[in-house]
Amino acid sequence: MKLKKISDLIGFTETEFKVTGFVVIALLAGLIIKFFSIEKAVYKQYDYKAEDSLFYQGKSATEPEEINVVTTEDSVKVKVLGLSENKFPEAKKKTVLKEKSLNLNTAVKEDLMNLPGIGEKTAENIIEFRRINGRYKSIDELMNVKGIQQTKFRKIEKYIYVK
């Protein structure tokens, strides 16, 4: 009852008054714990003379024999990016297909992989579907192959035909 009267005087609802009171009490408790805690941080002074003397004894990095000069653009790529020829096998480049240039009933996996969006697994699925169900009668049957949805079909339909 007293909380309701006090919250009405301040202009808060009873819930707002309780939440504000909790936050204030929590902050005060934190401050009291911080100022009256027994443990104090102990900072030790460290003598850096030994490390400084080692630093000043070293050669200057601007002397000509210390600078590694890279002369070619290729060596820059190899050194900076860590590129080397043996890390990257030659990627197969897809050949540009002409419209209606690939017969679904005679195409091999490599030919199918030249189609946009068709990888090795999808090409294998197309061939497996042909092996199980027989020759394709229409290019629309390609929609029954696992891995080919409407958007992928639209991308490849101009390159394929059935004969």
Percent of the chain with pLDDT over 70: 75
Q: Quick one: 102-161 is in which CATH superfamily?
A: Photosystem II 12 kDa extrinsic protein (1.10.150.320)
Interatomic CA distance for residues 16 and 13, integer angstroms: 5
Predicted local distance difference test score (pLDDT) of residue 29: 96
For 71-123, what is each residue's pLDDT tens digit? 566 666 666 666 555 555 555 555 667 888 889 999 999 988 989 889 999 99
Mean pLDDT of the chain: 81
Predicted local distance difference test score (pLDDT) of residue 124: 94
- What's the rounded mean pLDDT across residues 61-80? 57
The DSSP-derived string for 91-117 is PPPPPPPPTT-EETTT--HHHHHTSTT
Interatomic CA distance for residues 52 and 38, integer angstroms: 37
Interatomic CA distance for residues 162 and 129, integer angstroms: 14
Percent of the chain with pLDDT over 90: 34
- What's the rounded mean pLDDT across residues 120-147? 92
Residue 40 in this model has a pLDDT that exceeds 60: yes
Predicted local distance difference test score (pLDDT) of residue 45: 86
- What's the rounded mean pLDDT across residues 125-153? 91
Predicted local distance difference test score (pLDDT) of residue 98: 80
Ranges 11-25, 68-82, 98-112, 127-141: which has the least confidence: 68-82
- What's the rounded mean pLDDT across residues 119-128? 93
Ranges 5-14, 93-102, 121-130: which has the least confidence: 93-102
70: Cβ contacts below 8 Å, ≥ 6 apart? 76, 79
Predicted local distance difference test score (pLDDT) of residue 44: 82
Strand ranges inside the chain, DSSP E? 102-103, 160-161
